[in-house]
Amino acid sequence: MKKIILLLIVLFPISIKAIDISATSVILMDTDSKRILYSKNIHERRSVASISKIMTAVIAIESGKLDEEVTINNIISKAYGSGIYIKVGEKLTLRDLVYGLMLRSGNDAALAIADYVGNGVDNFVEMMNHKAKEIGMKNSEFHNPSGLDEEDGNYSTAYDMAILTSYAMNLSEYRKIVKTKEYKLNTNKNNYLWNNKNKLLRLYKYTTGGKTGYTKKAKRTLVTTASKNNINLVVVTLNDGNDFNDHINLFEYGFENYNSYEILSKGIINIYDEKYYKNYNLYLKNSFKYLIGKEEKQSVTIKYELVKKKKIELRSKVGNAIVFLGDKKIYSEPIYVKEKTINKSKKWFLW
């Protein structure tokens, strides 16, 4: 038998300006909750060019080998297009190669990374596709670490690339690399000064990273991230000739029309009129924040579902706190029970 308790909070609408985006596919997503704030053809599979290198960087970072020295071999002879122009016999760290990959879109760096981390490019590509499935990229297929349209090329969607970027932004090393405007490096063969191709780092002060891309087949592709007032957003555009301006406009739309609210708070909760567990404390292990649009007419509703257990085991799950936006379920957090404490309960809802 379950007991259900509801709370209703109403949000009042305001008028919102329409935005005109020139991309074939585009998405604006909250990287924390994965809420989609703006979309167009987000599940259409397209060639994605060098934004593929986000996955290459993730695999390299998670390998745990960033500080290892890499001696460049003949694999780079297969590279063409954009490069960092490393030479056979050159020695640099894997971290250096990832900087060259992300700041200068080095296709030679991509091959060197794949060969070193994957013990061969083919193995590395398998790692890329495995990672894509693991993190929920359902319409993506990688055939190389660079994004060049050789043979089959790399295919993904605006949605999948936003999911990948949201995942990558949880990696501190990735965040550090992609927000770097300039990187200097001295090796046994050369001295380098790499400026980041992501112009948004200089054009828009809230930018935190991203990756550019272009091939004749894919046209201009771009992924960027930005943060303001505890809101973290990602924009992905595929085939967009006005991409940098479109990204700024989308970020401004997101920051102006959405706010981040803590809907569920970690710790002890009070549920109005709940009596079955009155001799115990009910608590949540995690908080939940969500972006709520100022224009939305729907309400946020929290439904508490509790199971009346005959035998109550401390620290065990006894129900769920379920959050709805309108009639759409957006989150569920387990409710646990523990012994009653003397301390007063904290507020269960912070607005």
Kindly state whether residue 319 falls inside one of the protein's structural domains: no
User: Is position 105 annotated as part of the catalytic site?
Assistant: yes
Angle at 343 between CA 340 and CA 349, to 5 degrees: 90
CATH number of the domain residue 62 falls in? 3.40.710.10
Checking if the pLDDT of 17 tops 60, the result is: no
Taking the C-alpha atoms of residue 237 and residue 222, their distance in angstroms, rounded to an integer, is 5
Closest to 109 in 3D by CA, of 155, 70, 149, 63: 70
**What is the structure's pLDDT at 151?**
74
Computed over every residue of the chain, the mean pLDDT equals 92
**What is the structure's pLDDT at 9?**
43
Q: Give residues with Cβ within 8 angstroms of 224, minimum separation 6.
A: 198, 200, 207, 209, 210, 234, 235, 247, 251
Q: Which residues are bridge partners to 156 per DSSP?
A: 46
User: Is position 199 annotated as part of the catalytic site?
Assistant: no
**What is the structure's pLDDT at 298?**
64
Checking if the pLDDT of 338 tops 70, the result is: yes
Catalytic residue among 25, 47, 50, 166: 50
Checking if the pLDDT of 351 tops 80, the result is: no
Kindly state whether residue 97 falls inside one of the protein's structural domains: yes
CB 118 within 8 A of CB 124: yes
**What is the structure's pLDDT at 3?**
52
**What is the structure's pLDDT at 342?**
63
- Read off the pLDDT of each residue in 198-226 and give the average, rounded to a whole number: 98
Kindly state whether residue 149 falls inside one of the protein's structural domains: yes
The percentage of residues in the chain with a pLDDT greater than 70, rounded to a whole number, is 91
**What is the structure's pLDDT at 88?**
97
Kindly state whether residue 60 falls inside one of the protein's structural domains: yes
Confidence of residue 341 (pLDDT cuts 50, 70, 90): confident
Checking if the pLDDT of 14 tops 50, the result is: no
Kindly state whether residue 204 falls inside one of the protein's structural domains: yes
Closest to 230 in 3D by CA, of 350, 347, 124, 78: 350
Which residues constitute the domain of residue 39?
25-241
Taking the C-alpha atoms of residue 301 and residue 324, their distance in angstroms, rounded to an integer, is 5
User: What are 91-130's pLDDT values in tens digits?
Assistant: 999 999 999 999 999 999 999 999 999 999 999 999 999 9
Q: Give CA separation, 281 vs 6, 11, 163, 341, 342, in Å.
A: 19, 31, 37, 7, 10
CB 234 within 8 A of CB 31: yes
Kindly state whether residue 140 falls inside one of the protein's structural domains: yes
Catalytic residue among 105, 140, 146, 166: 105
Greatest Cα pair distance, the chain, in angstroms, is: 74
Q: How many domains does the chain have?
A: 1
Q: Which of the pair, 327 or 50, is modelled with greater confidence?
A: 50
The percentage of residues in the chain with a pLDDT greater than 90, rounded to a whole number, is 85
User: Is position 299 annotated as part of the catalytic site?
Assistant: no
Kindly state whether residue 308 falls inside one of the protein's structural domains: no
**What is the structure's pLDDT at 349?**
47
Catalytic residue among 53, 131, 211, 219: 53
Token match 């794949």: residue?
Answer: 114
Kindly state whether residue 100 falls inside one of the protein's structural domains: yes
User: What are 276-293's pLDDT values in tens digits?
Assistant: 999 999 999 999 999 999
